Amino acid sequence: MEIVEVKDKVFRRFISEEKIMKGVQEISTRINMDYKGKNPLLLAVLNGAFIFAADLIRELTIPCQISFVKYASYAGTRTTEDVKELIGLNEEINGRHIIVVEDIVDSGITMDHLLRDLNNYQPASVKLACFFLKPEAFIKSFNIDYLGMEIPNDFIVGYGLDYDGYGRNLPEIYKLEN
């Protein structure tokens, strides 16, 4: 579909499912090489990253585990800059290799908060696998170790990303029509 309506807004197709899957495969290839002989814990950030995390873990050939946390800083189409932990860490990560799996980093406020929290538990390492980065909106300074693609600072839905909880199920990425 070229155009979709999500709630009261119209979105136009922006990134194909094929391009998304190619990005997932590129990230998984690098992780498989970097973590050979290790047993990392993938820590997926709900709700948005669940689809990327599922696709990514199916492509991994290394021994690994997955768990989930949920942080929130969005209301509608805007960040509130107030980060709330809704579901916390329930795994022992002291001495473990952690790969945080995130769908998108725009301002970086939520991820910066999460990365600081994780380092308090003294993991062996913490790396970030993020599918989308909005460099124009990024205001923090942490490193993204495994990046799918950079995109403009447009509001998008699909592939786990939502507008007020809707649109996550779309297999492609759609951007808001102005």
Q: Which residue numbers are catalytic?
A: 106
**Residue found under tokens 């979105």:** 11
| Euclidean distance between CA atoms 157 and 93, whole angstroms | 32
Give the count of alpha carbons within 13 A of 158, CB side only: 23
- What tokens were used for 66? 């997955």
C-alpha gyration radius of the chain: 16
State residue 156 phi and psi, 5-degree precision: -125, 155
**Secondary structure (3-state) at 143:** coil
The three-state secondary structure class of 172 is coil
